[in-house]
Amino acid sequence: MRNLSELAIKNRTLVWYFIIVIAIAGVFSYMKLGRMEDPAYTVRQMVVTAAWPGATARQMEEQVTDKIEKKLQDTPNLDYLKSYSRPGQTVIYVYLTDQAPRDSIRDTWHEVRNLTEDMKSELPDGVVGPFFNDRFDDVYGSVYAVTGDDYSYEELRQKAEEIRRIMLTVDDVSKVELVGEQSEAVYIEVANDKLAELGIPPTAISDAVSGQNAMTPAGMVDTESDNVYLRVSGVFDDLESIRNLPINANGRLFRLGDIASVERRYTEPADPKMFFDGKPAVGIALSMKNGGNILELGSNLEEMQQYVKQNLPAGMELHQVSDQPKVVEESIDDFVDTLREAILIVLAVSFLSLGLRTGLVVACCIPLVLTGVFCVMEVAGIDLHKVSLGALIISLGLLVDDAIIAVEMMSVQLERGMNRLDAACHAFKVTAKPMLTGTLVTCAGFIPVAFSDGAASEFCQALFPVILSALVLSWLVSVMAAPLFGYYLIRVKAVKTEETLYQNRFYDGFRAVLVWCLSHRRAVIGGTAALCIAAAGLMKYIPQEFFPPSLRPEIIVEMTLPEGSSLAATEKEAAALARYLDTKPGQIKNYSYYVGEGAPRFVLTLEPVLPADNYAQFVVVAADVEGREALAEDIRREIEERQPGVRCNIKSIPLGPPSDYPIMLRVSGYDIDKVKAYAAQAADAVRQDLNVRQVFLNWEQKSEIVQVRLDQEKLRAMGASGQTIAQTLYTELSGATIAEYYGAPDKTIAIQLRLSPDGRNDLSRIRSLPVYAGTAGYVPLEQVATISYGAEEGLIWRRDLKPTITVEGTIRSGTANDATQKAYDDTAAIRSSLPFGYSIEVDGDLENSQKSLGYLLKPVPVMVLLIMTLLMIQLRSVSLMALTLITAPMGVVGVAIAMLLLGKSLGFVAYLGILALGGMIIRNSVILIDQIKQHLAAGEDPWHAVIDSAVLRFRPIMLTAAAAILGMVPLMTSIFWGPMAVAIAGGLLGATVLTLLVLPTMYAAWFRIYPE
């Protein structure tokens, strides 16, 4: 290899030029990098929905859900299907495997549409849809709320729509959606006694209204000079024109307003609603374009917000519900502060250990490498977010290693009396190749996260390219820029003899310890092996956690009422909790809640909840992160004590892929009743754990129904049919859309016909409802039917076509992984007795963790093979390669002790650190083994070659380890990176000590080296 240090010094003008260019380019690249809170990852999920008004949940499952799911099983790269069926509605989630290429996801969703369209003819008549949502991963990071005490929902909606159109003109804005808007209808309500008295069939009213209001072209006259259209009057301009509509019934003319009330109001039952700080609101949710700069978007939105507020009518307010640009800015500022702390720590290590001038050489290398990395990040399209910034901090402790080794060797040679050029050249000859091998081995340790599948790996994928570029650039800087800096900066006094350099009390003590280890090699090697085995045993006592909750101040409160509950009942319960939150102004910054659906996906790791009448979700923003847990406990206690009929789930925003509950077990089978029985047994087993707070089944209660059994013989005698009666009941109770009203400026309003409220909202009056029975005219419903009350399945969950119930639970303390594993172990007796085709499996965080860890381990053989190849190229000996590899497991000693002492959980990010730790340990071992080879090649006897090599490499190995370990200290307080930082720092500390003592001992034992 050409001596790059010599080349750099002899062509220093050119090298200085490139140093300045890289520094300037790096500064501009940093300014241009995108800013995000979290890295983007692909949500391999699509939602297919369909409706069949009037069908039961069981009919939906059998006639709609099952047919669609069978067809969707042909979807390429399908992982599994999950669905639920409700009366009149089915929702199917399509999940693709983690191996599905990102570039093919959109094509797959088109294939799903095609497959479903192909089987539409197999669905029963009356099925509406299917409909598709393949943009389930859209993130609406900025959410606003428009409120006003004296304004109606429609007035709020109109203003929100006006603001929405302004927002669409802002740079980098992709989509803007309204949330919580209430649709309107024109209701024509007839009293049931009027219908019976006048004998007006429902069709008389509906035909008259639709016939009058139909938009029918009247033609065009094509003159010699113009096209003149004919406009025929008759379309309803206002409500009064509807009231004045003549109705012909039994030869008599009636004015519609005389026999029915005609009013324009909000639909009943209501649409999902949004509230901000307890006030009705219309939300505005905004998403950013891909590749946009979130901080610039935030600045533009702030200007827009100021403009809008100045033009709002009196009493109307615009509130910021979610401000992702501000969150990203604060998150990046925190990480930059952490990066600054890490740089100061590394510089302190360099200056204290190497001296001012030599330490200054290392200090100059750091910004040069960082600016080079920023250039690579811009070219590779890597934004600044928690993963890329964390990778920079991790690499900071590693990127100075090569520079420390190079300048330390140069300094030693200068102390021996060499001139500056020869010292720099000698440092390259001795250290460049082992440093390069060590650098590549360290990079190889991060291969699993770069090439494994799964959302978790994709989430952390920026780790590898950032660390790879940082370490490779650091090697180039250490062999070219560092010698150049050292050429000008390092000034040391020549000490001529090596004995003078390494003859002092410290080195004498280290040499004595090393000689003792070499002399008691069996005890040392056996003790080390026992220590590693014991540490591996300790690992099972470390808490397991997939991803920790974030430190964002939001608290997510989910309220679920019994299946079949109305949206009005859910709103009442939500309002009760809102009144409680109003009593805690000092603890809460603001809160918003959504009745009938979940909040928009304002964070990628928070999965939105589809509409359900019995569901409400609060997003409570605590005044500070420190008081978040106490506030969450207060809210939990309030709901448990004051609202016992509400199922409550309180959680924080996760840092990784989300799960609904801490404890989740999936019970599947073929027979619904058996699945319910096994799920109930599993739930009872889980409840025995005192750490479990509450246990639920996601499909448990049945819904109340009124069973109407028609007398078909009577109906035929009257000239009526069951379909006619059902349509009449639907029109009278729920309301049938008979026409459209075009009196609103920006929307179309349905005109619905139904009974007046006193005739349709009272169950006790169902029997007396008048139904039109052909020649008999209007008769009470009980005259042609038997009325009874009962219950039916209001919800049916399936997974891969099998009925599936999920046992869900909350916990008092600990991690979701540990709690779910214990719950699964507690069901062992039940699982052993399950018949063929029935199963109880883990779900949620534990399943995601197991899958992600499995994906992470798949590339490990390639990583090991690559490391072995690099070692063989450098060492040219199978024995030396094996000795070097054996040192990698020594890191487990420090990992286990550090994780237990500092109370960190072992999760996905920690496993990444443990895998990467092996490469860092091997790096030090390579340098030491290479030094022994050099001493042997110089003619030194093996015994002294081993000892002198360890002494000579002691300072650079300890300095590089100290830089790496202390560089991790600022990250240890990070919720996301803390476990990895502790694992790397603890493992590297223990392994470095063992490497300096145990590796020479193993070398001497393997090659049978004894003192002469």
Using CA atoms, how far residue 377 sits from 54, 232, 374, 568, 976, in Å, is 56, 65, 5, 52, 21
Higher pLDDT, 292 or 295: 295
pLDDT tens per residue across span 915-956:
888 888 888 888 888 888 888 888 888 898 888 888 888 888
Say yes or no to pLDDT of 321 above 50: yes
- DSSP of 182-199, one letter per residue? --EEEEEEE-HHHHHHHT
Using CA atoms, how far residue 685 sits from 279, 526, 680, 843, in Å, is 43, 45, 9, 16
* CB neighbourhood size of 871 (10 A): 24
- DSSP of 571-630, one letter per residue? HHHHHHHHHHHTT-TTTEEEEEEEESS-----STTSPPPPP-TTEEEEEEEES-STTHHH
Nearest Cα neighbor of 186 from 749, 746, 732 is 749
Say yes or no to pLDDT of 167 above 80: yes
For the chain, what percent of residues have pLDDT higher than 70?
97
Task: Note whether 380 and 467 are within 8 A (CB).
Answer: no
Residues 726 and 570: their CA atoms lie apart, in Å, by: 28
Which residues face 93 on adjacent strands?
47, 82
Ranges of beta strands (E only) in 639-722 are 647-652, 663-668, 692-697, 702-710
Say yes or no to pLDDT of 414 above 80: no
Amino acid, single-letter form, for residue 695: V
Query: What's the confidence (pLDDT) of residue 63?
Result: 93
Query: What's the confidence (pLDDT) of residue 734?
Result: 78
Lowest-confidence pick of 309-313, 348-352, 559-563, 988-992: 348-352
Task: Note whether 792 and 58 are within 8 A (CB).
Answer: yes
Query: What's the confidence (pLDDT) of residue 400?
Result: 79
Query: What's the confidence (pLDDT) of residue 216?
Result: 67
Task: Note whether 541 and 615 are within 8 A (CB).
Answer: no
Kindly state the greatest CA–CA separation across the chain. 129
Residues 823 and 681: their CA atoms lie apart, in Å, by: 12
CA atoms within 13 A on the CB side of 483: 32
Secondary structure, 3-state, 393-461? HHHHHHHHHHHHHHHHHHHHHHHCCCCHHHHHHHHHHHHHHHHHHHHHHHHHCCHHHHHCCCHHHHHCC
Higher pLDDT, 300 or 198: 300
- pLDDT band with cut points at 50, 70 and 90 for residue 563: confident
Query: What's the confidence (pLDDT) of residue 297?
Result: 87
Query: What's the confidence (pLDDT) of residue 931?
Result: 85
Q: How confident is the prediction for the chain on average, in pLDDT?
A: 86
Say yes or no to pLDDT of 569 above 70: yes
pLDDT tens per residue across span 798-844:
999 999 999 999 998 888 899 999 999 999 999 999 999 999 999 98
Domains in the chain, start-ordered, CATH in brackets?
1-32+362-490 (1.20.1640.10), 44-136 (3.30.70.1430), 504-541+877-1011 (1.20.1640.10)
Q: How far does CA 909 lie from the centroid of its chain?
A: 14
Say yes or no to pLDDT of 501 above 60: no
Helical H runs in 858-907?
Answer: 860-875, 878-886, 891-902
Query: What's the confidence (pLDDT) of residue 760?
Result: 63
Query: What's the confidence (pLDDT) of residue 752?
Result: 86
Query: What's the confidence (pLDDT) of residue 492?
Result: 64
Q: Is the dihedral of CA 840, 841, 846, 850 positive or negative?
A: positive
Say yes or no to pLDDT of 497 above 70: no
Residues 425 and 415: their CA atoms lie apart, in Å, by: 15
Task: Note whether 434 and 927 are within 8 A (CB).
Answer: yes
pLDDT tens per residue across span 968-993:
888 888 888 889 889 999 998 888 88
Query: What's the confidence (pLDDT) of residue 961?
Result: 83
For the chain, what percent of residues have pLDDT higher than 90?
29
- pLDDT band with cut points at 50, 70 and 90 for residue 496: very low
Say yes or no to pLDDT of 449 above 70: yes
Q: Hey, what's the torsion of the CAs at 257, 263, 267, 273, to 10 degrees?
A: -170
pTM of the entire predicted model: 0.84
Query: What's the confidence (pLDDT) of residue 502?
Result: 62
Helical H runs in 214-293?
Answer: 239-243, 256-259
- pLDDT band with cut points at 50, 70 and 90 for residue 259: confident
